């Protein structure tokens, strides 16, 4: 039997509710103090900068655990039926793209004095424990307020928010909106390479950097951080006596961002740019003069004779400068014959050169910075760089052999490929966090039973997948917003709306 239209309710994930429905308030979500069902990992969330599991034993945080997360994945407070429903809740957005959805719990037809403000907030927070003291800081990224007008809404109110490409400026005033002059975020960051120190730089991607530790002979440093973006809805009522808005309900939902997407043609051009590392190697052995293997006696003499013939050749390792998450990084290996020193000649045929061992490693680097107000230190900031192996591969017995043609190896190239994780965070830098990657390749060459090694290493810039290639979705688990931060965020949003004019 069909359900009457007035009794129907839109599904929580329905992107476009059918016209003619009157949305009823959604069931009250569990609050902090109420029991909640066992949380289940979702299919979307923030992008992690590593794929290895960190050891979490031996916490340095005594009885208080600032890294504990609350079980409420979509935090609310006094929602009173107010809810934002994203059309694409698992989408990985990029700067310049638009977030759309609809609102439940806003019955503007029966209560025309109610207002809705949508706030797009972004911030980067860092924690560091060093010298027996815990430091933490929060840097602003975005704070954009959109006032939805009831006359522009249909039966089911919808919202549209466009993500800017750069960090906002002029957000210092927001610190004055919190009670007791509590600092919501720090604005004055000194110049320090490679961190940013001012607004206007590209938005960093969503990232949750887990706790990292570094040990030295005299100290232990621990740090972590995150970049988060969210939409906050505040429902308010116009007080006719004071002509001011009185907030009555709020709701917030996290969204996941990557860096700005380039065109596929631009990414392909950038990925074709490479770096060549050339090294000259020398192989010295009597075996160059003989086809048969040396006897044991000849091998002993071979190690000490100064008149042993030598073969000189150059190795070139070609590595990319840029790649994207999930792509195959290809490293080209080539060799070339070098002329002997002046006064010497090759009195033997040019030998084959084999690749006996290849090792490739991509390591991530995460910089964490916090402010240290004077007189606690002569240095106004404290920063540290943590690193972690993202992916590595090792081949001990490859079958690649360079065979001389007309006395050289022209046109012969061996290609080594390594797949990057799809969950890699694009390279970025902001006021208190940065992430970068370095690639290292070690190749061992064999000639007549003797070996030489060539090494190449350099920066590997990771950018987001190009636009038009495929839809981006956050592939890792949702990072739960921390209790203290979400309450401060809602307090600030309510105060911002309270001071808004009801235009």
The pLDDT tens digits for 142-199 are 999 999 877 767 778 999 999 999 999 999 888 888 766 567 788 889 899 999 999 9
Range with the lowest mean pLDDT among 146-160, 326-340, 351-365, 429-443?
A: 146-160
Which pLDDT belongs to residue 25? 44
pLDDT in tens, 277-292: 999 999 988 878 887 7
* CB-based contact 212:384 (threshold 8 Å): no
Dihedral, CA atoms, 162, 163, 169, 170, nearest 10 degrees? 50
- Average pLDDT, integer, range 303-328: 90
Q: Residue 477: is its pLDDT beyond 60?
A: no
Sequential DSSP letters for 284-338: E-GGGG-SSPPPHHHHHHHTT-SS--EEEEEEEEEEESEE-TTPEEEEEEEEEEP
Question: Rg of the chain's alpha carbons, rounded to an integer?
Answer: 30
Q: How distant, in Å, are the alpha carbons of 3, 83, 285 from that of 121? A: 39, 17, 67
DSSP H or E run through 265: helix 264-271
Structure tokens at 47: 């992008």
* CB-based contact 490:350 (threshold 8 Å): no
Q: Residue 338: is its pLDDT beyond 50?
A: yes
* CB-based contact 65:59 (threshold 8 Å): yes
Q: What is the model's pTM?
A: 0.77
Tell me the CA end-to-end span of the chain in Å, nearest whole number.
Answer: 46
Please give the sequence-ordered ranges of beta strands (E in DSSP) within 203-309, or none if there are none.
207-215, 220-239, 244-257, 274-284
Which pLDDT belongs to residue 40? 38
* CB-based contact 235:114 (threshold 8 Å): yes
In the chain, what are the domains? Answer: 41-52+60-258+472-498 (2.60.40.640), 265-462 (2.60.40.1930)
Which pLDDT belongs to residue 179? 67
* CB-based contact 267:463 (threshold 8 Å): yes
pLDDT in tens, 227-245: 999 999 999 988 888 888 8
pLDDT in tens, 38-71: 433 333 333 233 333 333 333 333 333 433 333 3
Which pLDDT belongs to residue 80? 64
- Average pLDDT, integer, range 312-341: 95
- Average pLDDT, integer, range 259-287: 93
* CB-based contact 500:493 (threshold 8 Å): no
DSSP code, position 161: E
Q: Which residues contact 360 (CB under 8 A, 6 or more apart)?
A: 329, 331, 392, 393, 394, 416, 418, 439, 440, 441, 442
DSSP H or E run through 495: helix 483-498
* CB-based contact 252:233 (threshold 8 Å): yes
Between CA 375 and CA 26 the distance in angstroms is 52
Rounded to 5 degrees, φ, ψ at 273 are -80, 130
**Mean pLDDT score of the chain:** 80
* CB-based contact 48:475 (threshold 8 Å): no
* CB-based contact 9:24 (threshold 8 Å): yes
Q: Which residues contact 465 (CB under 8 A, 6 or more apart)?
A: 258, 261, 267, 324, 325, 326, 472
Confidence class for position 28, pLDDT limits 50, 70, 90? very low
Cβ count near 79 (within 10 Å): 22
- Tell which wins on pLDDT, 377 or 314: 314
Structure tokens at 239: 């007080």
* CB-based contact 127:482 (threshold 8 Å): no
- Average pLDDT, integer, range 123-146: 90
Between CA 191 and CA 209 the distance in angstroms is 23
Rounded to 5 degrees, φ, ψ at 472 are -95, 130
């Amino acid at each position: 039997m069909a359900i009457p239209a007035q009794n129907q309710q839109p599904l929580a994930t329905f992107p476009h509710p059918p016209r003619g429905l009157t949305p009823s308030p959604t069931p009250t979500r569990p609050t902090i103090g109420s029991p909640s069902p066992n949380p289940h990992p979702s299919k979307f969330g923030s992008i992690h900068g590593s794929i290895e599991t960190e050891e979490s034993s031996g916490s340095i945080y005594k009885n208080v655990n600032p890294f504990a997360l609350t079980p409420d994945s979509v935090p609310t407070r006094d929602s009173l039926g107010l809810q934002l429903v994203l059309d694409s809740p698992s989408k990985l957005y990029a700067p310049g793209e638009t977030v759309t959805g609809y609102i439940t719990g806003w019955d503007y037809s029966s209560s025309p004095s109610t207002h809705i403000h949508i706030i797009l907030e972004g911030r980067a927070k860092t924690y560091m424990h060093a010298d027996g003291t815990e430091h933490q800081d929060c840097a602003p990224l975005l704070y954009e307020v959109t006032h939805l007008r009831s006359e522009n809404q249909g039966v089911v109110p919808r919202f549209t928010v466009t993500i800017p490409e750069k960090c906002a400026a002029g957000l210092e005033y927001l610190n004055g909106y919190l009670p007791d002059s509590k600092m919501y975020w720090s604005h004055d960051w000194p110049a320090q390479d490679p961190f940013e120190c001012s607004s206007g730089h590209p938005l960093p991607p969503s990232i949750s950097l887990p706790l990292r530790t570094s040990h030295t002979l005299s100290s232990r440093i621990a740090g972590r951080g995150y970049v988060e973006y969210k939409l906050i809805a505040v429902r308010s009522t116009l007080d006719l006596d004071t002509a001011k808005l009185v907030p009555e309900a709020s709701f917030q939902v996290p969204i996941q961002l990557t860096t700005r997407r380039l065109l596929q043609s631009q990414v392909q051009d950038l990925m074709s740019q490479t770096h060549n590392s050339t090294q000259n190697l020398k192989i010295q052995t009597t075996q160059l003069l003989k086809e048969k293997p040396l006897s044991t006696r000849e091998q002993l003499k071979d190690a000490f004779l100064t008149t042993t013939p030598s073969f000189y050749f150059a190795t070139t390792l070609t590595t990319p400068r840029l790649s994207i998450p999930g792509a195959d990084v290809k490293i080209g290996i080539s060799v070339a014959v070098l002329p002997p020193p002046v006064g010497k000649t090759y009195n033997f045929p040019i030998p084959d050169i084999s690749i006996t061992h290849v090792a490739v490693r991509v390591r991530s680097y995460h910089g964490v910075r916090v402010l240290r107000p004077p007189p606690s230190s002569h240095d106004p900031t404290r920063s540290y760089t943590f690193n972690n192996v993202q992916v590595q591969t090792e081949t001990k017995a490859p079958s690649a052999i360079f065979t001389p043609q007309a006395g050289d190896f022209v046109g012969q190239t061996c290609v080594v490929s390594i797949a990057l994780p799809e969950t890699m965070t694009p390279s970025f830098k902001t006021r208190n966090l940065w992430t970068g990657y370095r690639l290292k390749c070690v190749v061992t060459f064999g000639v007549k039973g003797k070996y030489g090694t060539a090494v190449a290493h350099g920066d590997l810039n990771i950018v987001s997948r190009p636009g038009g290639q495929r839809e981006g979705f956050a592939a890792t688990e949702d990072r739960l917003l921390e209790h203290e931060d979400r309450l401060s965020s809602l307090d600030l949003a309510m105060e911002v709306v309270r001071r808004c004019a009801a235009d």
